[in-house]
A and B are shown apart, each in its own frame.
Chain A
């Protein structure tokens, strides 16, 4: 039995097995309480504080920013911009930095295993500016060779947009080395940390990321709060993404001067309760500890891969080493469409993802149109892995193939 599981109200129902943590995690009582506490005791519109509640709301919001900065190793809290999610953070970088600083003939390097949210904004920038998208191709197991990275990142490269951990194969990339290659050629690196920040220690200063993004909801926090880290000098040089309230200094009928970073990028009333929830989630993760999180994920992944290996007609994708999966195991059952597999498992109250996982270029490369994905977090248990594989072993029979 996993002691942390009791902290998650939705997971107290033992009939359900939640293996879709790469899509979104569940929230512990501590996070739900923090959000409720904010609304019940200090709710007011932050950043406009002329009275006590608003001052407290501002403190709670800015406190969450400081906590987030420490959590990912940023030098200053002002390098943290709150957004809705990783997708919005990536769009902010593409619309603001990309459209301003990318020029015709520049190259934007993206990896073939990116989530669509780190592809589409760059396709847009390329189309608008006349820059060219260059693809980093992975090996059969989803890993990237330094040779490929060195070949594709050149003096023409302006941006390298890359996920630290793939949402399909779970494979981590050597971001520090890729960042060094980008910087050697005068490019910036935009790191999608949606699948890494919840699972391993992130240090944006050590990896030397120019931008780093993640979503709160994949890290036990409420939906609707996301993070963009950017180096101070880059954020300062960028135009605002959205304009409107609470991001200005002076406004006349014709013109405006903008507030300082990070508020320049946070137009309109902010998601203070979400930020407070994120701060509580960061505290919770801190208490659990990344040592335990990776240890538990690796243990569960190893067991799952071993059990899957015993079931005939199953193909597991990606690295053979469970340590290279960040809790994500993607697979297919011969002859069965992943959506049928997910439906059959759903009848046993097992939640997995099936489909293209918003990573169609990678699936095209893998030559499959869809896959099943089980993704685990530290609160999952070995018992759940056994029940999952027992149910999965019956899927082919349920779909009409002789057992």
Chain B
């Protein structure tokens, strides 16, 4: 798929008509992700209950690739467990580095179309923004489990 095709068939729709771009009413966790060099700036909002991502959204501004990628990610991770989401995030980031297998890439559904960006070094940070932010949320969440704060309630 060439670049213009990627925009036309996937990116534009998610950028101009995102499903998940709004503020969530009662998120359990909110994290801001920023690419200072290009001005991409999103806040990722998730509702995590008993290890399941029951709802999620993002809001903010940035280039079409950063916004579309975050929207596609939410399509994938809502309704999944934290572990599954983390695994997808890992596959996605490896896909962008050119290190994921065909089978893994297929599991990303529509987001697989973004693998083209791996050939565009300047846009890699844009496409990763939502995913990196999600990864940080998961890491922090696990750390808070590990230090026992969740066991007390």
Contact = CB atoms under 8 A, between A and B. Distances in A.
Interface residues of A, number: 17
Contact of A398 (B4, B16, B62): B4
A369 B39 contact: yes
A321 B55 CA distance: 53
A344 interface: yes
B139 interface: no
B2 A339 contact: no
A370 interface: yes
A346 interface: yes
Interface string A259-291: 000000000000000000000000000000000
A339 B126 contact: yes
Contacts of B15: 399-400
A355 B7 contact: no
B8 interface: yes
B84 interface: no
Interface in A361-392: 369-370
B4 A344 contact: yes
Closest 4 interchain pairs by CB? A400-B12, A369-B39, A337-B63, A347-B3
A148 B12 CA distance: 45
Contacts of B65: 339-340, 343
B13 interface: yes
A332 to B, nearest CB: 12
A401 B16 CA distance: 8
Contacts, number: 52
Contact of A347 (B2, B12, B37, B63): B2
A340 B7 contact: yes
B37 A400 contact: no
Contacts of A344: 3-4, 7
A399 B123 contact: no
A346 B3 contact: yes
A29 interface: no
A370 B7 contact: no
Contacts of B8: 398, 400
B5 to A, nearest CB: 9
A343 B3 contact: yes
A400 B16 contact: yes
Contacts of A336: 64
B132 to A, nearest CB: 17
A337 B2 contact: no
Interface string A47-74: 0000000000000000000000000000
A337 B123 contact: no
Contacts of B64: 336-337, 340, 399-400
Given A343-B120, A369-B39, A337 B62 contact: yes
A348 B37 CA distance: 24
B31 interface: no
15 contacts: A337-B63, A339-B63, A339-B123, A339-B126, A340-B64, A343-B120, A346-B3, A347-B3, A347-B4, A356-B39, A370-B39, A399-B7, A399-B15, A400-B12, A401-B16
Contacts of B38: 337, 339, 355, 369-370
A355 B63 CA distance: 11
A356 B3 contact: no
A232 to B, nearest CB: 40
A400 B126 contact: no
Contacts of A401: 16
Chain A CB count within 10 A is highest, among B11, B37, B64, for: B64
B122 interface: yes
B3 to A, nearest CB: 5
Interface in A308-361: 336-340, 343-344, 346-347, 355-356
Given A340-B63, A340-B65, A398 B7 contact: yes
Contacts of B16: 400-401
